[in-house]
């Protein structure tokens, strides 16, 4: 029987931590933009603004469905 050496995962851990920091920064920016109503003036809202916001929501739904095994990523 061959024994395995413990694997050094420090490079993977570093990459994971760096990517998580990138995601955290993106989420913070999105939250800030949402807090400012996506910089939309209520008097100037048009269907193009609705379409843009729905596109953002669709992209985020794909991410959350994947992360939480929901929607098309659900485990039946």
pLDDT above 70 covers a percentage of the chain that reads 92
pTM value is 0.79
Residue 51 CA to residue 71 CA, distance in Å, equals: 21
First to last CA, the chain: 39
3-state SS of 4-64? Answer: CCCCCCHHHHHHHHHHHHHHHHHHHHHHHHHHCHHHCCHHHCCHHHHHHHHHHHHHHHHHH
What rounded mean pLDDT belongs to the chain? 93
pLDDT score, position 49 = 96
User: What is the arithmetic mean of pLDDT over 39-59?
Assistant: 96
pLDDT score, position 6 = 67
User: What is the arithmetic mean of pLDDT over 63-74?
Assistant: 93
Per-residue pLDDT band for 75 (boundaries 50, 70, 90) equals confident
Residue 7 CA to residue 65 CA, distance in Å, equals: 32
């Amino acid at each position: 029987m061959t024994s395995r050496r413990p694997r050094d995962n420090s490079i993977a851990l570093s990459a994971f931590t760096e990517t998580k920091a990138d995601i955290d920064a993106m989420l913070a920016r999105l939250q800030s933009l949402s807090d400012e109503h996506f910089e939309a003036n209520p008097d100037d809202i048009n269907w193009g603004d609705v379409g843009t916001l729905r596109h953002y929501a669709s992209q985020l739904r794909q991410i959350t469905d994947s992360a939480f095994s929901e929607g098309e990523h659900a485990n039946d």
